[in-house]
Structure 1
């Protein structure tokens, strides 16, 4: 299959409160896509506006934006990028490759009109750049066992499955990529 890559310059920046409405639209689109694919992930109201607000408050929210015809930058993808650790990862059923600091990406979603254009890949790459700039050499992600889009992306981007982690909402597969 030939993959179309986004050839537009995309700005990777911290999300701001003014982005919240667009972010929620993108999240709802992702929830609908998962539902249509038969995935159970994100089908219980998560992530909701309160999760996005918490991401913004903590400084975790990041967006990819493309220039629009009006000269503004339109948000086309959202993710929560954290260097503060993930408590669920402390109890992994498996083993991480290191106890060193890591970056974690949660809640990645791409706008419907930008899907299959390499936007999620770009988000991953920009997150890696951010981690390397901070001297962080491990990138961790978890996803539901039936999220085939994310599973395919993780495989393509060189992530290794390190085990399982548990949240109140259920068990997730845990992945890691060494950035050195």
Structure 2
């Protein structure tokens, strides 16, 4: 079933599905005891902005949106200051707001999405992916460890510190 996953840039028609998936992820973070995404961010305006900026990407299963993420090249001001050190100083892809629907959570969609992120970066001649997550987002921390991301230090966002990771692609 999960083999039929396809990836693409999101369209305005995907906005409601992306927002529904983000709401599910927000609820899961809360149920897991995480403080991440519990302050009104991300919200519907975030989804609309990501689509307008053409940084929203989705995973679909049989045409239905089942996961989303925002992919941004180089433009992440909060990464300019890190308590630690990035592995590289060149171009990079930032992955934000990864969310998987309840329908496919735990079925390998996130794994396939991370493969897509790497392929997308390489297609654009970028060989570094940077990502951050909350200290208590155990699901994402586990994924990052499994995918070979290196912990680089802490960055500061509006509601506090985040763990920052980087993976250098071959």
TM-score band, normalised by the shorter chain? Answer: over 0.9
1:139 to 108, 111, 129: 129
Please name the residue that 1:15 is paired with: 10
Secondary structure of the structure 2 residue equivalent to 1:112:
coil
Please name the residue that 2:29 is paired with: 34
Once the two structures are superposed, the pairs formed by residues 86-165 of structure 1 within 5 Å of their partners are: 86-165=76-155
Q: How many residues align?
A: 170
Alpha-carbon RMSD across the aligned residues, in angstroms, is: 0.9
* Structure 1 segments (4+ residues) deviating >4 Å: none
Secondary structure of the structure 2 residue equivalent to 1:171:
strand
Give the TM-score normalised by the residue count of structure 2: 0.98
| Structure 2: runs of 5+ lacking an equivalent | none
Give the TM-score normalised by the residue count of structure 1: 0.92
| Structure 1: runs of 5+ lacking an equivalent | 1-5, 68-72
2:52 to 40, 54, 57: 57
The structural deviation recorded for 1:45 is 1.1
Name the CA distance, whole Å, in 1 between partners of 2:2 and 2:100. 16
Change (3 A) 1:28 1:144: same
Contact conserved, 2:2 with 2:109, CA < 8 A, in 1? Answer: no
